[in-house]
Amino acid sequence: MTLARIGVFDSGVGGLTVLKAIAEQLPAHYLYFGDTARLPYGTKSAETVARYAIGAARFLEAQNIDLLVVACNTATALALPLIKEATHVPVVGVVEPGAAMAAEVSKKRAAIVIATEATISSHAYRDALQQHGLKAYEKACPLFVPLVEEGWTDHPVTEQVARIYLDEAMAQEPDQADVLVLACTHYPLLTPLLRRVVPEPMQIVDSAESTAGVVRKMLGEKSDCDLERREVAPVTERSRRTPIAAKLSPAEHRTFRFYATDSVEKFKRLAARFLGRQVDHVEHVDLGG
């Protein structure tokens, strides 16, 4: 069987949680691009974000990918239609899969969305949830990203911060939301901690895992993991191309290539936290301004 070539793009290392979730469900050749020299995207204009994202998408498309996953919430929120117009492969963002999964599991038709300031300001998840008939309560949690990158995913300070954020979020939702949507690619690393903080009946929806389910269905593949989920995307035709020659392990049927626009050593160090495995080789790429 010829394996698909899946490109995953993010402004930094957070999108590696999306890569990990997809790779756990689907054998493929994976190419990850982290635009680390130009992060954070959240402080940039929509026009600049679109320009950066399109440049990254075209770089990955030049590597003969079959499908592009925009693992960056900001790029998905601000530039997904433009990215789709600029490329010639199917494109998946992270917002719609997360919203669709929240709609699938919510009984009270209300959800709390936690994300970065930029994603909350875009109201992309709010709008997507409303399309699915859910009321959305949004809460920016700007301290989570640096805490995760510091490795403090189960630290008392992080738990205290989480309790403050979520207490504030729950105070604004009289309808008693029963779903918490993790709308930042860093946040899945906080899931065990957040599970302790939120009320027990509340479902936690990880947009990374939701996106992985969509990718799996788009490629028409069956999961090699027994996950009790229904996918929400239509099947689309995919092209087949020559796979990457070098494999990490013939038994795994998964290969990985990593590209970064800034320090490869920092990327490798942080990547190990997000992937749960060592990353030995990262290629430096300069896309210019």
**Residue numbers annotated as active site:** 72, 184
DSSP 190: G
Whether the Cβ atoms of residue 85 and residue 68 lie closer than 8 Å to each other = no
Q: Is the peptide bond before 199 cis (omega within 30 degrees of 0)?
A: no
Phi–psi pair at 63, nearest 5 degrees: -90, 15
Q: Which residue in this structure is represented by tokens 């191309």?
A: 241
**64 in the Ramachandran plot: left (φ > 0), alpha (ψ -120 to 50) or beta?**
left
Alpha-carbon 119 to chain mean position: 12
- Close Cβ partners of 57 (under 8 Å, ≥ 6 residues apart): 7, 9, 68, 70, 83, 86, 87, 91
Q: Which helix (H) or strand (E) holds 129?
A: helix 124-131
Phi–psi pair at 2, nearest 5 degrees: -80, 125
Radius of gyration of the chain (CA): 18
Strand-strand pairing, 255-260 and 29-34: parallel
- Close Cβ partners of 118 (under 8 Å, ≥ 6 residues apart): 40, 41, 42, 43, 73, 74, 77
Q: Alpha-carbon distance 199 to 228, whole Å?
A: 22
